[in-house]
Amino acid sequence: MKIYGVIGWQNSGKTTLMERLVREITGRGLSVSTVKHVHHHVDLDQPGKDTWRHREAGAAEVVLASSKRFAILREHRGPEPDLTAVLARLAPVDLVLVEGYKRDSHPKIEVWREGIADRPMIQPGDPLVRAVASDAALPGLSVPLLDLNDASAVADFILKECGFAP
């Protein structure tokens, strides 16, 4: 599996780009999975429901299964799992797009929109940021500048980086 990241500060457009990239790349016949890192508490279960009760009783994993999909809820009552541990749980696909995990050691594209974050760009300090996708002119970049609104061009860049395109 090839791994490629989409990073940036909050509200920069990462999720919108991820959504467009998944559509674009799967439309080209490749299989894609995604990983989304969040900084807040997440629970897909509902208090009082059977699976919630299983977890509360101490189950390490609970599987919710239906005719349309299944979800595995894994309790880790310790530190947050690192990206490598998360990726090891995925079924094989051609490409895993990772949203977040901005400091991990995989190639990434930074999403940057002026006026969204009052923080500096990540790219100058991270050699694994291979390009910046933006809707603004950013003179002086040491990496390619991609049009944030052109998912096809961003997908071309990622696929070429991953060895899927000539």
Per-domain residue ranges for the chain?
A: 2-40+80-161
| pLDDT the model gives residue 41 | 65
The pTM for the full model equals 0.89
Position 40 scores a pLDDT of 55
- Residue among 144, 134, 148, 129 at smallest CA distance from 20: 148
CATH annotation of 2-40+80-161:
3.40.50.300
What string of H, E and C letters represents the secondary structure of the chain? CEEEEEECCCCCCHHHHHHHHHHHHHHCCCCEEEEECCCCCCCCCCCCCHHHHHHHHCCCEEEEECCCCEEEEECCCCCCCCHHHHHHCCCCCCEEEEECCCCCCCCEEEEECCCCCCCCCCHHHCCCEEEEEECCCCCCCCCCEEECCCHHHHHHHHHHHCCCCC
pLDDT digits (tens, 9 = 90+) for 83-126: 998 999 999 999 999 998 988 999 999 999 877 767 889 999 99
Low-confidence ranges of the chain (pLDDT < 70): 39-44, 117, 166
pLDDT of residue 87: 93
Alpha-carbon distances of 4 from 22, 33, 47, 110, rounded to whole Å:
12, 11, 35, 11
